[in-house]
Chains A and B, each alone.
Chain A
Amino acid sequence: MKFLNDEISESIGFKEIWQSIEPISELGIRAKKRFIPYLPKQEQELKAELEKLGILIKIIKNNDSKIHKIKNLLSNVKNIYGIINQSRTKKTILDDVDIFEVKKIIIQSNEIKEIIQKLKLNNFFENTFKEFPELLSFLSLGQNNSESFYLSDQYDKELALIRKKRQKLEKELIAEKNNLTSEIEKKCNRHFSLDNEISVSKNDQDVIEYLKKSDEVSLMSENFAVLTFKLIETEKISELKSKITEVKKEEEIKKKLVRKKITNEIQKYSLSLLENLDNIAYLDFMIARAEFSIEISAVKPKITSEKLIKIKNGRHLVIENELNKKGAEFTPIDLELKSGSTLITGPNMGGKTVSLKLTALLTVMAQHSLFVPADYFEFNLRNYIYFSLTSDDIKSGLSNFGTEISNLKYVVAAGDDKGLILIDEIAHGTNPAEGYAIAYGIIEKLDTMNSISAITTHYQRLANKLEITHFQVKGLDKDLLAKYHNHIREKGIDILNKCMDYRLERVTSKRDFPQDAIRIAGLLGFDQEILETAKNIMNNDSTGGIENNG
């Protein structure tokens, strides 16, 4: 099974979290896109990675100005993998802008390296940052500006000669033209256009007279208001022009050869250049992760070889944000799951689903080499994360059940492959009697398998019948109930929500579950007679397993 599919990623809130990690540079963004989560075999690598992240977080927290410098540098770094790889094909010739980009990345990575050394982060990188002094000076031949690039004469003696030849011809051409035009231009107080034309209004008769007499220009056109004269191209001018065209062709051919030479030179260093790009990308992505961890007050996950997931005061960031917007607070959750099945029960709106999502989210975050929002998080790497989507997007009873079963088919088949299997309201989409039976079967099977599974249910009886770990939502808090008692009938559900204790507690003795549904109905002022009947049934009926199924 795939580690995490898109639907699950979105529904557990990871997609949103991942989106808020924003590397600065094109390279960092690329690294993020290509990131693959760590799997159980890479436990040691992930440990090392989280260790590095922790070091970086400390540095950033100390508000080291060097980090600001690095970020500034990163913001100008471009993704030039394409250019470097082009140089490696040996088929294409890099153009001047490409060569400029290569030179620039060398300068940038040298600056980054210098800061990395000062921060003593050298051992963060798989390959050390290279400096390329020879290549840099080669790309700076004959340049007056250290950061720009120009295909200067120094790259090739012949190029220099050709250019000298052209410049000489151009000078001659300009001199020849000036020779012809400067007197005319001064006399007429105007200059020739780019097409070597002069247009004169018929009002300027003296200028017209002068130009008509001149041997250097000829009348080209005339209308009711204007006469246009054109410079006569002398033999010398046309000769110079054609010579210049020839030399320019020669220059272009030569320039191409020089670019080829430079491309080959870059190619020699291409592997190390690519490694430097990888380093920069890695650094940028790691800074983004570190800053995110700081922002959400996250802790370093502890990796254990025991098959368990242990959360202390875990916060689901996405849900926390939504609650905060409404002015409410998220109640941090404690939970410990072990290999096999764990059952979570509790009243509606009691946060059962949230605890499943939280478990999935923290595990996924950790395997994406992120710190997690909790006071403590210990976990064992998983090969895949499964979260049933059924209660989130109920369509119709049958198709809902059908979808759930066909999904679970694969999950159970992969159940021995170190997964994290989270099933919300198991088998609730079908009739309660059969639903209970199927749920029983699934849970019992998963309990024997090599995955960590957590299942929420309204089938309270599952907990009594199965020999598995059982957590329940604490439910209505007695003290708070007493406090708000008088307001509940007037303000209803809102106040009731405030009285809910969303924390989970381990249930050890059987038949110890709160009959919150009946209590809630009572608090909301429901018919006393009905409630009495319900209570009696709850106390007497020990078969059927169809409790407060909602």
Chain B
Amino acid sequence: MNLLRQIQGKKLKSVSIIGMAKNTGKTVTLNHLLKLAELSEQSAALTTIGLDGEDKDKVMDNPKPNILLLENTIIANAKNLLLESDLNFEILAATGIESPLGEIIIARNKERGFIKLSGPSSKNDLKLIKKEFLKYNPDLILIDGALDRRSFSSPALTDATILATGAAVANNISSIVNKISYQIELFKIKKSRDQKITEIISEISQDVKVLIIDKDYQNKSVDLKTILNNMEEVINHIDKDTRAVYFNGALVNDMINTLINKCAFINQFEIVVNDATHIFISPMLFNRFSAKKGNIRVRDEINLLGITINPFSPNGNYLNPLKLLRRISDAVAPIPCYEIVLNKKSSAKGVEDIEIFK
């Protein structure tokens, strides 16, 4: 079994790769998938989510890793990066989406080779890009994102997600394992059991920051510039009849803290966020909130396909890769975990080689 076969087995078309931190081997994972796609003669379309609001210099200072493109791969890439590459491209569309490195262009490369990739930096733009990709009917669409508040990831836009993680997320094996398993717990958060809530939330405008839904499914939006400094205002709108509170944005510690301290009804309603990548709450606070019978739900669930693990951390630490793989795999079972560089996979069956050929 390998990641691509998992994808094919479930008849998935689009996959997002989410890096849990920098240096978690996202690019290795992406290149691995492209290699697998090449071996099984699958056509691919891919883009990577660019950093938002950064000026050009900052983007340039942050060198993008090389990605090996196969012949006829469709990409969405910033014009500057596309033109500075020595590969031959067919220009398919100029999207009008601007990025610090120029307009995002849809192109098909005419020959195998390396390229640096930087795509759109907003969700709406990514949606547009995905639509463009579908016009060319690739077997597989890959979107590379990050679990980072400066950037974003897009599990809701893809059929499944791969989490890239590893030694970079903490200092020792136990904390790494704890952090990852907590992240996986978050990824498992389900939709509201009350379908009507999900329906209401899916239909409202993207401009709504906070929405309060009451027992009769009457809903009102709270008009705020930022949620962060205005939680009291939100709490004022919550009463015993509140069924759910939807936050269109990141859910962070301060918000939950204020809720625990100031809201008398926290065990009576659900908090709903867009998806689990919008939750940035510490495990301790999450537990405190759960102990008070607080309830967090998501609009879009994440279909987590697997985890790839990089034993290197940027401070030079190198952890025992198979031990790390095993420990993480035990903690997150039954989700398959991969150590791509060493070609290992860990699952209930134990550690084995990734099947590349056959």
Contact = CB atoms under 8 A, between A and B. Distances in A.
Contact of B341 (A189, A199, A251): A199
Interface in A460-481: none
Nearest to A103: B91
Contacts of B93: 148
Interface string B319-358: 0111000000000000000000111100000000111110
Interface stretch (A44-52, A94-102, A403-411): A94-102
Contacts of B112: 170
Interface in A211-251: 223-226, 248, 251
B280 interface: no
A252 interface: yes
A167 B111 contact: yes
B103 A97 contact: yes
A542 to B, nearest CB: 60
A190 B321 contact: no
B210 to A, nearest CB: 26
B79 interface: yes
Interface string A127-166: 0000000000000000101011111000000000001000
Given A190-B354, A194-B31, A148 B92 contact: yes
B35 interface: yes
B343 A189 contact: yes
B318 interface: yes
Given A201-B322, A225-B321, A194 B66 contact: yes
B73 to A, nearest CB: 15
Contacts of B6: none
A163 B90 CA distance: 15
Given A189-B353, A190-B343, A226-B342, A150 B320 contact: no
A223 B318 contact: yes
Given A201-B321, A224-B320, A100 B91 contact: yes
A338 B307 CA distance: 82
A143 B86 CA distance: 20
Contacts of A97: 79, 82-83, 91, 94, 103, 105
B144 to A, nearest CB: 16
Contacts of B90: 143, 145, 148-150
A86 B354 CA distance: 53
A203 B320 CA distance: 11
A200 interface: yes
Given A78-B94, A78-B96, A225-B320, A252 B88 contact: no
B103 A201 contact: no
A199 B341 CA distance: 6
Contacts of A34: none
B353 A252 contact: no
Interface in A87-116: 95-97, 99-101, 104
Q: Which of A78, A104, A150 has the most CB of B within 10 A?
A: A150
A190 B111 contact: no
Contact of A96 (B66, B91, B96, B355): B91
Interface string B251-271: 000000000000000000000
A193 interface: yes
A168 interface: no
A145 B136 CA distance: 11
A191 interface: yes
A241 to B, nearest CB: 13
B79 to A, nearest CB: 6
Contacts of A99: 91
A504 to B, nearest CB: 42
A491 interface: no
A148 B72 CA distance: 14
A186 interface: yes
A246 B112 CA distance: 17
A190 B35 CA distance: 11
A201 B342 contact: yes
B209 interface: no
Contacts of B79: 97
Given A201-B321, A203-B322, A186 B91 contact: no
Per DSSP, chain A at the interface is: mixed
A516 to B, nearest CB: 43
Contacts of A200: 342
Contacts of B86: 248, 251-252
Contacts of A78: 94, 96
A78 B98 CA distance: 13
Contact of A170 (B66, B88, B111, B322): B111
Contact of A190 (B82, B110, B353): B353
Contacts of B318: 223, 225
Interface in B15-59: 28, 31, 35
Contacts of B96: 78
B89 interface: yes
B110 A150 contact: yes
B264 to A, nearest CB: 38
A248 B94 CA distance: 26
Nearest to A201: B342
A163 B87 CA distance: 11
Interface string B62-95: 0000101000000000010011001011111110
Contact of B355 (A167, A189, A199, A248): A189
A285 to B, nearest CB: 19
A190 B356 contact: yes
Contact of A148 (B91, B322, B353): B91
A310 to B, nearest CB: 45
A457 B343 CA distance: 90
A151 B107 CA distance: 13
A186 to B, nearest CB: 6
Given A167-B111, A170-B111, A201-B344, A145 B92 contact: yes
A292 B114 CA distance: 51
Interface in A387-415: none
B343 to A, nearest CB: 4
B109 to A, nearest CB: 10
Q: Which of A163, A186, A199 has the most CB of B within 10 A?
A: A199
A232 B112 CA distance: 22
Nearest to A78: B96
A252 B88 CA distance: 10
A145 B89 CA distance: 13
Nearest to A192: B35
Contacts of B321: 201, 225-226
A78 B96 CA distance: 8
B35 A191 contact: yes
A348 to B, nearest CB: 37
Contacts of B114: 194
A95 B82 CA distance: 11
Nearest to B318: A223
Nearest to A163: B88
Contacts of B342: 199-201, 226
Contacts of B88: 150-151, 163
Contact of B83 (A95, A149, A203): A95
Interface string A175-188: 00000000001101
Contact of A193 (B103, B111, B341): B341
A101 B28 CA distance: 35
13 contacts: A97-B82, A97-B91, A97-B94, A97-B105, A101-B94, A148-B108, A149-B91, A150-B88, A189-B343, A190-B356, A194-B114, A199-B342, A223-B318
Given A189-B356, A191-B356, A201-B342, 20 more contacts: A78-B96, A95-B83, A96-B89, A96-B91, A97-B94, A97-B105, A145-B90, A148-B90, A150-B88, A150-B90, A170-B111, A189-B355, A190-B354, A193-B28, A193-B341, A194-B68, A194-B114, A199-B341, A203-B322, A226-B342
Interface of A: 78, 95-97, 99-101, 104, 143, 145, 147-151, 163, 167, 170, 185-186, 188-191, 193-194, 199-201, 203, 223-226, 248, 251-252
